[in-house]
Chains A and B, each alone.
Chain A
Amino acid sequence: MKVVMISATWCPACLIVHKRLRELKELTARYSLEILDLDFDEEKVAPYTVGKTLPVFIVLDEEGKEIRRIVGERTALELKEEVFHD
């Protein structure tokens, strides 16, 4: 399973979530996690149609199909429950 996180350097909520992801290193290692920057990875971000709020987590299945999308700042526990689960 693959998780794409879209964030930005200027977004404080994204910076907080980056820190929480580092704390969940063991859990996130079980997934293919790709972190994209809204401003510096424009081509890769374009297909995902980011809305009005960052960060965005997009969970994809083996075939690359979007299973779920979680938008906004999340606590470590919420990341476990909402993003990084099968």
Chain B
Amino acid sequence: MIKRILFIGLLMFAFLLPVSAEEAPAKLHIYVFYSETCIHCANQEVFLNELGEEDPTLEFHRFEVIENEANRELMKKVGDLIGAPIKTVPFVLIGRYRISGFTEGITDQTILDAIADTKENPVRDLVGEMLGIVKPGTGTVDYTGGSTVTLPFFGTVDMATVSIPLVAIVLGILDGFNPCAMWTLLFLIGMLFRMEDRKKMWILGGAFLITSAAMYFLFMLSWLNITVFFGSIAYVRYAIGAVAIAGGVFNFRSFLKTPDDGCEVVDDDKRKKLKKKVLSISNQPVFYLAILGIMGLALSVNFIELLCSAGFPVIFTQILALQNLDAFQYVGYLLLYILFFLLDDLLVFFIAMKTMTLTGISTKYGKWSHLVGGIIMVLIGLLMILKPAWLQLNFY
């Protein structure tokens, strides 16, 4: 009788016993660092909330880092743990993917891809282990150092740290090959040689190059601010993508138009005007007026150069804007771009001043740079429109 009562009682309360017939799917822990005052964080939050409702296996751990000092400390610890300091918010950590910033139409797709990949290839959740929410040693792959590749001569290289500098260098060099400012510089140095005063030559040539760099930098910085501000609007990105494709076509045209073996003769009026300007500067008896004159010349030449280069600076600033870097990094990459943009001019100037002989680069290289530049511009333009996430250069 007692046995029967116990059996019936057991049946009645059976629903309280753990059921293991079908194992519940594993939770994917996603760590989100954000600020209450950041608009991109708010936009991201809307997306993450929708995602959480659609997929109950996702577990979000949110950390506000502006108001909450403990969370700020935690963000630093997480940065140390994953080997990459977290400098901007929003910042999302999904498995081995580190996603900073949020641009609608780009980052949302990156987050979805990261979730899909992490579910398929679970990695060890070091942050979860640190927070005590997952068992130590879970996952199959250790994600630290996941973005490194081994290259001949360079050894092990972290792609996440070299990709933007590499883009800055390649685009800067291609932009620098543009002949517009180069022919003015050669013309200017040729005229300076007639002055026979080395000190004045250094100062005037240097003023031309420094003003060129400063103008280019200010233009790119302003454009970057505009791009960052409007960066989340897809139509702005489409427009810049279209500019890049048009620039690429323009470069193809230049490749076909540039003579195989010589220099295209610059328009007569343009040359005469420049000659007149440079002559008046080099003959200017008041030296500081000559410096001002050369600075004015550099401004006007580089204004035309910006139109002439047909989009390289615009493309580079758009790529930078997609990265969500801090202000110092933005400025650093802009300066790197400008250094390589001016590299050929600097080389020509320094060699000319040291040897008192003008040297040039064979036209053939300039012609082929149009083709390479054209291909790169069209590819970047298409990516901006069709696959912008690829331009985030996220190798994680």
Chain A residues within CB distance 8 Å of chain B? 8-16, 19, 38-39, 50-55, 71-74
B263 in the interface (beta carbon within 8 A): yes
How far apart are A69's CB and chain B's nearest CB, in angstroms?
13
Query: Provided the pairs A13-B363, A39-B271, A73-B364 are in contact, do residues A8 and B358 lie with their beta carbons within 8 angstroms?
Result: no
A53 touches B187 (CB 8 A): no
Query: Provided the pairs A38-B265, A53-B265 are in contact, do residues A72 and B366 lie with their beta carbons within 8 angstroms?
Result: no
**Complex alpha-carbon distance, A11 and B179, angstroms:** 10
Kindly report which residue of chain A lies nearest to residue B191, judged by CB atoms: A9
Name the A residues within 8 Å of B366 (CB-CB): 12
Query: Provided the pairs A11-B360, A12-B366, A39-B275 are in contact, do residues A53 and B186 lie with their beta carbons within 8 angstroms?
Result: no
B262-274: CB near A (< 8 Å → 1, else 0) gives 1111100001000
**Complex alpha-carbon distance, A8 and B259, angstroms:** 16
**Complex alpha-carbon distance, A1 and B290, angstroms:** 44
Beyond A9-B358, A38-B271, A73-B363: 9 further Cβ-contacts under 8 Å? A10-B187, A11-B360, A12-B263, A12-B363, A14-B360, A16-B360, A39-B271, A52-B265, A73-B262
Name the B residues within 8 Å of A19 (CB-CB): 359
Query: Provided the pairs A53-B259, A72-B259, A72-B261 are in contact, do residues A13 and B362 lie with their beta carbons within 8 angstroms?
Result: yes
> Can you show 9 pairs from A to B with CB atoms below 8 A apart?
A9-B190, A10-B184, A11-B263, A14-B360, A15-B360, A38-B265, A54-B265, A71-B262, A74-B261
Name the A residues within 8 Å of B266 (CB-CB): 10
B182 in the interface (beta carbon within 8 A): yes
Name the B residues within 8 Å of A12 (CB-CB): 182, 186, 263, 360-363, 366
Kindly state the interface size class of chain B when it binds its partner.
20 to 34
Query: Provided the pairs A14-B263, A50-B265, A52-B259 are in contact, do residues A73 and B190 lie with their beta carbons within 8 angstroms?
Result: no
B190 touches A13 (CB 8 A): no
Query: Provided the pairs A52-B265, A53-B264 are in contact, do residues A9 and B186 lie with their beta carbons within 8 angstroms?
Result: yes
B350-383: CB near A (< 8 Å → 1, else 0) gives 0000000011111110100000000000000000
B263 touches A13 (CB 8 A): yes
B359 touches A15 (CB 8 A): yes
Name the B residues within 8 Å of A14 (CB-CB): 263, 360
How far apart are B297's CB and chain A's nearest CB, in angstroms?
14
**Complex alpha-carbon distance, A14 and B184, angstroms:** 15
Query: Provided the pairs A15-B358, A16-B362, A19-B359 are in contact, do residues A52 and B264 lie with their beta carbons within 8 angstroms?
Result: yes
Chain B residues within CB distance 8 Å of chain A? 182-184, 186-187, 189-191, 259-266, 271, 275, 358-364, 366
Name the B residues within 8 Å of A13 (CB-CB): 261-263, 360, 362-363
Name the B residues within 8 Å of A39 (CB-CB): 187, 271, 275
- Which residue of B183, B191, B262 is within 8 Å of A72 (Cβ)? B262
Interface core residue of A8, A11, A14, A50 (most chain B CB under 10 Å): A11
How far apart are A67's CB and chain B's nearest CB, in angstroms?
20
Name the A residues within 8 Å of B183 (CB-CB): 10-11
**Complex alpha-carbon distance, A55 and B259, angstroms:** 11
Name the A residues within 8 Å of B271 (CB-CB): 38-39
A-B pairs, 4 with minimum CB distance: A12-B360, A9-B190, A72-B261, A72-B262
**Complex alpha-carbon distance, A53 and B367, angstroms:** 14
How far apart are A65's CB and chain B's nearest CB, in angstroms?
24
**Complex alpha-carbon distance, A54 and B262, angstroms:** 5
Kindly report which residue of chain A lies nearest to residue B344, judged by CB atoms: A12
How far apart are B221's CB and chain A's nearest CB, in angstroms?
30
**Complex alpha-carbon distance, A14 and B186, angstroms:** 11
Name the A residues within 8 Å of B186 (CB-CB): 9-12, 15
Interface core residue of B263, B271, B364 (most chain A CB under 10 Å): B263
B265 touches A55 (CB 8 A): no
Name the A residues within 8 Å of B360 (CB-CB): 11-16
**Complex alpha-carbon distance, A38 and B270, angstroms:** 13
Kindly report which residue of chain A lies nearest to residue B259, judged by CB atoms: A53
Kindly report which residue of chain A lies nearest to residue B366, judged by CB atoms: A12
**Complex alpha-carbon distance, A51 and B266, angstroms:** 11
- Which residue of B190, B259, B362, B364 is within 8 Å of A10 (Cβ)? B190
**Complex alpha-carbon distance, A52 and B268, angstroms:** 11
Name the A residues within 8 Å of B275 (CB-CB): 39
**Complex alpha-carbon distance, A10 and B187, angstroms:** 5
**Complex alpha-carbon distance, A13 and B360, angstroms:** 7
Kindly report which residue of chain B lies nearest to residue A7, judged by CB atoms: B263
Name the B residues within 8 Å of A16 (CB-CB): 359-362
